[in-house]
Amino acid sequence: MERKERIDALGAVLLVSLAMVMGLGQVFIKMVNAEMGPIFQAGPRSACALPLVLAFALITPKRLSLTDGTLLPGLFCGCFFALEFLLLYTALDHTTVSRTAVLFYNMPVWVALWAHFLIPGEQMSRVRALGLVLAVGSVALAFWRGGSASAGALKGDLMALGGAMCWAAVPYFARMTRLSRAVPEMQLLYQLGVSAVILTAAAHAFGPLLGEMTLGLWAMFGFRVVVVVAIGFLMWFWILKHYPASDMASFGFLAPLSAMLFGWLILGETITWTILAALALVGTGIVLVNRQG
């Protein structure tokens, strides 16, 4: 398939579907957290998804190598990936899905901010700077609870924001090192392999690992492994390869919107005006930050 100059019908369907999957996946994380330790849930998720991604890469086939100079940066990115999901999964144990989504999906803003200061030729225009200001405003709104926030909820909000920063560090570091030469599947294998080891080992320090897991909870866990990680991540890489990133930014608000809607429908979470306003700001900010020229 040739690279497209604009998002067509197929691209739009894929992006909307991916956003729905990601939003539903966050709700499932919170539900499974009730009977499976958050960190323990994240570790086996990576371990189970790794052979699926590896099988896909071998069948395709893709060039996989540990001796092409990508090993060290790959391991380093894997550590950021592990910390990202340690923070995300724990955040969902303390705060709501809707608040986590708004804070976590601020990731593109942090990428643009670091690129402005650290990558020559990536300085922001006035329009992109306005997008950054709006996105930062969304963070401020998301944190504002009218003085009613508990210590645990505030801790969850901070973890979601920290997870977004770690997520942003992965593509930034990959771009600035030899890891950029590796195929997306190889990059994902590094991230899954390192995070599986780190998160599974660290889980023992964060309380009980397993409670009374039901068939429904195991199905939700399986959905995260197969649909969100193995299929979803590979689909994202495929979309990046065939469609312009600047056009994809206009769909950036769909993932937090999807998480918010599923949190309301399935968990009965309250959607406040501050969260809706924060969602509008982060969506606008992401579009402006990703504008070219």
CA dist 95 and 155 (Å) reads 8
pLDDT value, residue 130: 77
What's the rounded mean pLDDT across residues 14-30? 88
In a domain, 200, yes or no: yes
Confidence (pTM): 0.83
In a domain, 42, yes or no: yes
In a domain, 1, yes or no: no
% the chain with pLDDT above 90: 18
In a domain, 59, yes or no: yes
pLDDT, tens only, 179-222: 888 888 898 899 999 999 999 988 887 777 788 889 999 999 99
In a domain, 122, yes or no: yes
Return the closest-CA partner of residue 174 out of 264, 114, 96: 114
Q: Which residues pair with 210 in a beta bridge?
A: 36
CB 43 within 8 A of CB 193: no
In a domain, 131, yes or no: yes
In a domain, 4, yes or no: no
Using the predicted structure, report yes or no on whether residue 5 has a pLDDT greater than 80.
Answer: no
In a domain, 2, yes or no: no
pLDDT value, residue 122: 63
How many structural domains does the chain have?
Answer: 1
Domain, as residue range, for 229? 9-289
How many CB atoms neighbour CB 83 within 10 A? 21
Using the predicted structure, report yes or no on whether residue 147 has a pLDDT greater than 60.
Answer: no
What's the rounded mean pLDDT across residues 121-141? 71
